[in-house]
Amino acid sequence: MWIPENRSAAKVWVSGDIAPGVKKTVDVHVTVWDKKFNHDYCWTTLDLILNVDEPIGSRIAGFVMTEKNQPVSNVNVNIDANITEYPKTVSTAVAGTYDMMVASGLDYQITASKGGDYLNGVSTLDLVLIQRHILGIQTLDSPYKLIAADANNDGKVTASDLTELRKLILGVTNALPKNASWRFPISAQSMDATNPFHFRADSYQPDTYKYEQSELRSSEDRRCKRKRKHQRI
Averaged pLDDT, 155-182 = 91
The confidence band for 108, taking pLDDT boundaries of 50, 70 and 90, is: confident
d(CA 126, CA 217): 7
Identity of residue 174: N
- Domain boundaries, given as residue ranges, for the chain: 2-48, 57-233
Cα torsion for 194, 196, 198, 202, to the nearest 10°?
170
The confidence band for 63, taking pLDDT boundaries of 50, 70 and 90, is: confident
Averaged pLDDT, 153-169 = 92
Q: Which residue has the higher pLDDT, 4 or 111?
A: 111
Say what the pLDDT of residue 21 is.
66
**Cα 34 to the chain's mean position, in Å?**
46
Averaged pLDDT, 159-170 = 93
Say what the pLDDT of residue 130 is.
92
Mind listing the pLDDT tens digit for each residue in 197-224?
Answer: 777 666 544 333 333 333 343 323 333 3
Q: Which residue has the higher pLDDT, 64 or 137?
A: 137
pLDDT at 65 exceeding the cut of 80: no
Let me know: does 50 contact 19? Beta carbons within 8 Å.
Answer: yes
**Whether residue 206 has a cis bond before it, omega within 30° of 0:** no
Say what the pLDDT of residue 221 is.
31
3-state SS record for the chain: CEEHHHCEECCCCCHHHCCECECEEEEEEEEEECCCCCEEEEEEEEEECECCCCCCCEEEEEEEEECCCCECCCCEEEEECCCCCCCEEEECCCCCEEEEEECECCCCEEEEECCCCCCCCCCHHHHHHHHHHHCCCCCCCCHHHHHHHCCCCCCCCCHHHHHHHHHHHCCCCCCCCCCCCCCCCECCCCCCCCCCCCCCCCECCCCEEEEEEECCCCCCCCCCEEEEEEEEC
Mind listing the pLDDT tens digit for each residue in 24-42?
Answer: 888 888 888 888 888 888 9
Angle between helices 159-169 and 124-134 (to 10 degrees): 170
